[in-house]
Structure 1
């Protein structure tokens, strides 16, 4: 059994960045990745970048088939670049295979050629990400029409009729994308209300814009069975009045969330604690319950974003080579973004959350139609909402539903982290025409928060 200073299981954002950093500090690193199609991790191969590429291509009028081809070229280039980034380092070995724990610090790796290699790691970093969940609906798992988000981006042709199970953020992104490509999309969700975390005015506007684009929503439904009829999927569901309806589709996209990918690790052979949802339990420094074993990214549960995985790397880097000051609990201001049209970005408190916490606030609110750049972009849909603490003039939350929100939300985040009063954004000189200059007008005067 070979002993290695650092073993990283999984080629994701946090793990690959950590591998490069350790190697450049003269440490030996073994990176284990079960699929050659996943060099670089989930984001560049099957999630953030390919999905956003397709969303942009759809908005630009590119055909679905051409868009998929272009996406594949991009991901192939990124995958090779990421592989070379690690493989070119003298201190890094990239090993293709599936890792299984045999003890707290020992693993076996099954390679594609059938061999089993055994290693002991002085440090082990688990970075295996997450996998799609499939709800327990009769006939769904065996349906030939079923696809997850990864498969949806690799279809040989555009489905004319598409049913999406799940009306959360991922479901909405794909509904937006496929509708733009020309599919007829129906979204089924068992919740009575879509986008429950968002304020009512924002959620209603988002859903109405989807409906205006032709998306059909069925909420509060109980999907009874998935069958087949006339070479199409037959989806039978019941509404709240127990009245059953059957609709038909060329494909069914399941967008009901992702769960930590720990099942294949054989963690039962270790003292590593695992939560009921399969997530590896970690402390504030990403330590597992076994000394010198860490968990990075989606596999530990919590927000599933590549920038969270990158920040996990920063925590470990600071522990091993820095001042040991960074913590998970320090991540109090983390933005999110849903890549729909227009884009929906959020950070901090929503108005609903502020009211629930009985927090006093000033509300600044403005329609996107008041922004000159929105007119230039030919999309004046949307709304900007920012909450400010009246005692300190500091921003405590923002929801931006507007074109390019994914960019300008970062200005809000910076202001919040730097504890800048909202007047700094109000009085800033911006280039013109830009979406960001909307802050000049947005922050002129607060509105009655009871409106």
Structure 2
């Protein structure tokens, strides 16, 4: 079989891969992208955008709940899960078409198939439509992403549990759903399914949900889940599973010193991710993996092999689409002889529950562990006038302030928290003191206006 040569070979069409491909191809460089299944990667197909689409449908259910007192009068509310799925699929189809248009307009050749390395910068592609091709790039960019991990628990894999991928395509309502994992994916789906009408239990192995967040944040999210009727089991270990998810399952769980059996109709696994490098044969290309299967890269996202880069989650980058997009900028800058690296990036993130959790910079736990001194400003969201218009006073904002009055970190749990966080992040990027936000003129009534109240009083040192 003859080897086809190109200037740029991209494996995986997620955000870092597709942006590199489109950019380099528009410069006139022959660029080939090999994608196994999802044009555009996980984000537009089975992750960020589809999940927020479904979450918004669940939000609509909550808005017509008579207990919210919004003054909307309607008859009996019925959730059409098939309709929810159809709305999501329409969005995904439109996004995929936009991606295909971009591939065509940029001049990128998109090859649908499975790529495996056969040697340095060379892959064998089993095409989905049949046939085999051998491709070699002068430069290679790996962007194969991650997938949901299924814990090694007796009976769990045999039960055929859902991951977020299958949950997004549900056309029926699970009667009794057990969510394994109290992280971001687990909480978002738990709340959405509960609002659709499922009975939901979260099984979390750790002492709290969101175990990387500050205790006050984790406790606030647990209270939110419980107030919405979701059972949260902490310090709970899944021991075994019997049955088939979707038809009926029994889960044996150890909580503390005792055991209990949970009866459920469905299981949703949201217990971490694993990199999609196991079928890549990376060693044949001289690309080193770490013990967990992630590609080893330096702070310029270069792998151990010359002229081979890796971006996104498979390279161990934080698992957010916006980080993958910045990975693209790092690689592109270095291809042009620049010096941009992944060091010191200010990475924000949001949990799209209702209300939202948004964070950027240091949290208190991290500051204490690093020995960073700080003062803290804190305010309940009920003091933000915007929340009165939304009838959503739940939550709080807090900011860590350094000795030079600059903002070290910001967290908001409340209505429109993601937008407020972006304002604080901008101030942090500009090195502004918190007083610049305190003295700003923000539009009334917006959530960002709450920053005036947050910083109205001087921040104080945390209690010992």
TM over 0.5: yes
Provide Cα deviations, 1:84-129, integer angstroms capped at 9, x if missing partner: 1012333x11111110100011111001233111111111101111
The Cα shift of 1:169 comes to: 1.6
Quote the offset at 1:195 in angstroms: 2.2
Secondary structure of 2:238's counterpart equals: strand
- In 2: Cα distance, 1:70 partner to 1:158 partner: 16
1:434 aligns with 2:451: no
Q: 2:69: which partner in 1?
A: none
Match for residue 102 of structure 1?
A: 118
Residues 296-311 of structure 1 mapped to structure 2, 5 A cutoff:
296-311=311-326
Deviation at 1:392, TM superposition (A): 1.0
The answer to whether the 8 A contact 2:202-2:231 is kept is yes
| 4+ residue runs over 6 A deviation | none
Tell me, yes or no, if the aligned pair for 1:58 and 1:64 is still in contact at 8 Å: no
How many aligned residue pairs are there? 443
Q: CA RMSD in A?
A: 1.5
Separation (CA, whole Å) in 1 of partners of 2:248 and 2:273: 26
Shift of 1:231: 4.3
Counterpart contact for 1:164–1:175, Cα < 8 Å = yes
2:174 alignment partner, one of 141, 151, 159: 159
Instruction: Please identify, of 130-139 and 61-70, the stretch whose mean Cα deviation from structure 2 is larger.
Output: 61-70
Shift in Å at residue 448 of structure 1?
A: 5.3
Give the deviation of 1:48 after TM superposition: 0.4
Gaps in structure 2 of 5+ consecutive residues: 62-78
Match of 2:5? 3
Displacement of 1:310 in angstroms is 0.6
For residues 406 and 353 of structure 1, the distance between their equivalents in structure 2, rounded to whole angstroms, comes to: 21
TM superposition shift of 1:357: 2.9
> 1:385 corresponds to which residue?
398
Residue 423 of structure 2, aligned match among 411, 414, 427: 411
Which residue does the alignment assign to 1:27?
A: 29
The offset of 1:79, in angstroms, is: 0.7
Q: Is the 8 A contact 2:311 2:317 kept in 1?
A: no
Q: SS state of the match for residue 142, structure 1? A: helix
Q: Alignment partner of 1:432: what SS?
A: coil
C-alpha separation between the residues in 2 aligned to 1:184 and 1:59? 17
Please name the residue that 1:326 is paired with.
Answer: 340
- Residues 9 and 32 in structure 1, CA contact (< 8 A), matched pair in contact too: yes
Measured after TM superposition, the shift of residue 408 of structure 1 is 1.5
Aligned twin of 2:145: 129
Residues 351-404 of structure 1: CA distance to partner in whole angstroms, max 9, x if unpaired?
222233332222110001111111111111001000111x31100011110111
**Aligned: 1:402 with 2:414:** yes
Q: Distance in 2 between matches of 1:356 and 1:98?
A: 43
State whether residues 207 and 235 of structure 2, in contact with CA within 8 Å, keep that contact through their aligned partners in structure 1.
yes
Write out aligned runs for 1:179-194 (5 A): 179-194=194-209
Question: What is the deviation of 1:414?
Answer: 1.1
User: Aligned partners of 1:270, 1:32: CA distance in 2, in Å?
Assistant: 16
TM norm structure 1: 0.95
Where structure 1 has 5 or more consecutive residues not aligned to the other structure, the ranges are none
Residue 240 (structure 1) aligned with residue 261 (structure 2):
no
Alpha-carbon distance, 1:429 to partner: 0.8
1:37-436 correspondence to structure 2 within 5 Å: 38-61=38-61, 63-90=80-107, 92-144=108-160, 146-228=161-243, 231-241=247-257, 243-321=258-336, 323-331=337-345, 333-389=346-402, 391-436=403-448
Alpha-carbon distance, 1:160 to partner: 1.4
C-alpha separation between the residues in 1 aligned to 2:285 and 2:23?
27
